[in-house]
């Protein structure tokens, strides 16, 4: 089952890329090299988020055209959804691919590994709001719901309909270099769910988290 609404490769959406990017950039973003570099991470996201790998890659592609549109070289004007962010990190870690990507876009896109958490959480939220507004203007729909939010919604609905799922456990999370946060989890929730929740809240990727009980 796929819940994405990305409407891949429609003529109207392709035209958005052509309006804001060079021919070289459009060709690179829709090349096999682009998809192949992201496919492993995109497939993992697809399993966790009930979307297709192609839709996950399209979300990152859309983030890039928005970054070029607002000239977000410092990564401070807009913020990605967790799905976009995961693929962005994948791109950055493949240094040869990332160099080719920036060359094709004609834009250097810096990345702060400390993220925008703690005192910068408001900036991150504002950036996400800005990105979402431009996304809707360009593509006529909302960005894919972050997988952490999607699973929280599923759990919430389950709590409301199941008499055996009424008890919530409050736990405290201390992300490195970020303020302590708390969240409520169900006794049946998984570690993957908790990591997805933290990712959605502070932008710390699941593979960068260490859970101690």
Number of domains in the chain: 2
Specify if 5 maps to a domain.
no
The overall average pLDDT reported for the chain is: 79
153: Cβ contacts below 8 Å, ≥ 6 apart: 145
Q: Which residue has the higher pLDDT, 150 or 93?
A: 93
**Whether pLDDT at 213 is above 50:** yes
CB atoms within 10 A of CB 205: 15
Same domain, 92 and 159: no
Q: What is the mean pLDDT of residues 17-33?
A: 97
- Which pLDDT value is given to residue 51? 82
pTM of the model: 0.69
Residue 170 has phi, psi (to 5 degrees) of -90, 125
Boundary of a domain, candidates 94, 112, 139 = 139
- Which pLDDT value is given to residue 163? 41
Same domain, 121 and 184: no
Same domain, 22 and 122: yes
Q: Which residue has the higher pLDDT, 157 or 209?
A: 209
Specify if 159 maps to a domain.
yes
* CA end-to-end span of the chain: 34
For the stretch 92-131, pLDDT in tens is 999 999 999 999 999 999 987 665 555 577 888 899 999 9
Domain extent, residue 113, equals 11-139
Same domain, 152 and 135: no
**Whether pLDDT at 176 is above 50:** yes
The CATH number covering residue 166 comes to: 3.10.20
Specify if 6 maps to a domain.
no
User: 91-123 burial by CB neighbour count: b if 16+ within 10 A, else e?
Assistant: beeeeebbebbbebbebebeeeeebbbeebbee
């Amino acid at each position: 089952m796929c819940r994405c609404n990305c409407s891949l490769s429609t003529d109207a959406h392709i035209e958005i890329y052509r309006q804001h990017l060079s021919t070289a950039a459009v060709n690179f973003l829709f090349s096999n090299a682009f998809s192949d570099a992201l496919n492993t991470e995109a497939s993992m996201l697809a399993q966790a988020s009930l979307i297709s790998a192609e839709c996950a890659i399209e979300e990152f592609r859309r983030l890039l055209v928005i970054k070029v549109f607002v000239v977000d070289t410092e990564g401070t004007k807009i913020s990605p959804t967790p799905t976009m962010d995961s693929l962005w990190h994948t791109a950055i870690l493949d240094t040869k691919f990332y160099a080719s990507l920036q060359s094709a876009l004609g834009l250097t896109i810096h990345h702060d590994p400390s993220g925008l958490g703690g005192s910068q959480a408001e900036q991150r939220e504002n950036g996400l709001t800005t990105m979402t507004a431009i996304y809707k203007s360009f593509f006529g729909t909302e960005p894919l719901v972050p997988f952490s939010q999607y699973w929280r919604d599923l759990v919430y609905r389950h709590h409301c309909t199941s008499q055996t799922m009424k008890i919530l456990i409050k736990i405290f999370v201390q992300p490195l270099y970020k303020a302590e946060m708390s969240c409520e989890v169900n006794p049946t929730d998984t570690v993957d769910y908790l990591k997805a929740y933290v990712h959605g809240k502070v932008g710390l990727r699941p593979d960068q988290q260490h859970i101690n009980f």
